[in-house]
């Protein structure tokens, strides 16, 4: 039988809280409802500012969460 100390249990619980928080930020759960720009009703536009926890750079790959008025998803393809 494996004995688990209360201290070990608390460490695991704290680690799980940090993981859930990180995953929710990375997954972009409801990220389009915060850090909003004032919007103009006459043209297509981005609706929010990019904040430091909503983008990532990994080598040559970049990931950016952004929101556009009236769209569920948008894609950008950049070429050099």
76 found inside a domain: no
51 found inside a domain: yes
| Residue range(s) defining the domain that contains residue 37 | 6-64
User: Which are the contacts of 35, defined by CB distance < 8 A and separation ≥ 6?
Assistant: 48, 49, 50, 51
**pLDDT tens profile 25-52:** 665 556 677 667 776 666 667 777 766 6
- E strands within 1-77? 55-58, 61-64
Flag whether pLDDT at 75 surpasses 70: yes
Flag whether pLDDT at 1 surpasses 60: no
The pLDDT assigned to 74 comes to: 72
CB 45, CB 66: distance < 8 Å:
no
d(C-alpha 27, C-alpha 25), whole Å: 6
20 found inside a domain: yes
Q: What b/e string do you get for 14-28 counting C-beta neighbours within 10 Å, with b at 16 or more? A: eeeeeeeeeeeeeee
Q: What is the pTM of this model?
A: 0.34
Structural domains in the chain (count): 1
């Amino acid at each position: 039988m494996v004995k688990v100390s209360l201290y070990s249990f608390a460490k695991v619980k704290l680690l799980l809280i940090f993981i859930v928080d990180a995953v929710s930020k990375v997954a972009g759960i409801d990220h389009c409802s915060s850090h909003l720009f004032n919007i103009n009703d006459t043209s297509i536009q981005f609706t929010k500012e990019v904040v430091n926890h909503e983008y990532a750079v990994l080598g040559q790959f970049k990931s950016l969460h952004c929101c556009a008025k009236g769209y569920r998803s948008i894609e950008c393809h950049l070429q050099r």
